[in-house]
Amino acid sequence: MVRARPRSVRVTTPGRSAPEAPERAFFGRRKGKRLREGQEQRLAALLPRLRVTPPADGGRLDPAQLFPEPKRGHWLEIGFGGGEHLAAQAARHPEIGFIGAEPFVNGVVKLLRAIDAERLANIRIRDEDVTALLAALPDACLDRVYLLYPDPWPKRRQRKRRFVSDESLREIARVLKDGGLFRFASDIDDYAGWTLARAARCPDLRWTAERAADWTAPYPDWSGTRYEAKAVAAGRRPTYLEFARAERI
């Protein structure tokens, strides 16, 4: 969800290769505006207790072990931006354990403020690129994955930087439980088509749309994001795609 451009940080997925992007990179800023003193204090006090770090030895990371109380399910939001959607879902579903991945420090601080203000005990944060986290998650451990308004990288030479690829969709399908949902939203038609084309090549994901209006209507429990509000204000129509994980044989 971070739409800033600049530098890249190279990240690899151990033991895996991808025909489209054998080596992933995070492209974007780690920090924007200077943090205020209160934000710095919250970052130092709260983030270490909520931070998710994949095992250094390459082992698996069980989402259930991240929460002191058992959860009915576990959801992941990739690139949560300012965290408004993630915080709203966590408040609405205290029985679910949420993991949010966002490398942009200013976005993490905004989510921490919501966690603190609303006393949300069911959110954990990965404040680095999500690739290593996905690689560390065991098979069939998540009930839902969100990717909302990711950076579109619209120029042709930039498209290899898009998060959605054959490899990333395989990883998402791997960590989803049978019947689990992957939800993708964007205001960029080309990125929606890009995602549909790659999802069609993934045998483990099934597009759930049954009629034309399904991909233009928000999800039933949709709370919106600030990027969506900007898109609508600018006259762009969002697209909402949903894919279900196929049953394992």
114 vs 189: CA distance, rounded Å: 31
Let me know: does 83 contact 107? Beta carbons within 8 Å.
Answer: yes
E strands of the chain, at which residues?
8-11, 24-27, 73-78, 96-101, 123-126, 142-148, 176-186, 205-207, 239-245
Q: Which of 127, 151, 187, 204 is catalytic?
A: 151
57 annotated active-site: no
200 vs 190: CA distance, rounded Å: 15
Cα distances from 79 to residues 110, 127, 217, in angstroms, run 13, 10, 22
The residues annotated with a catalytic role in the active site are 151
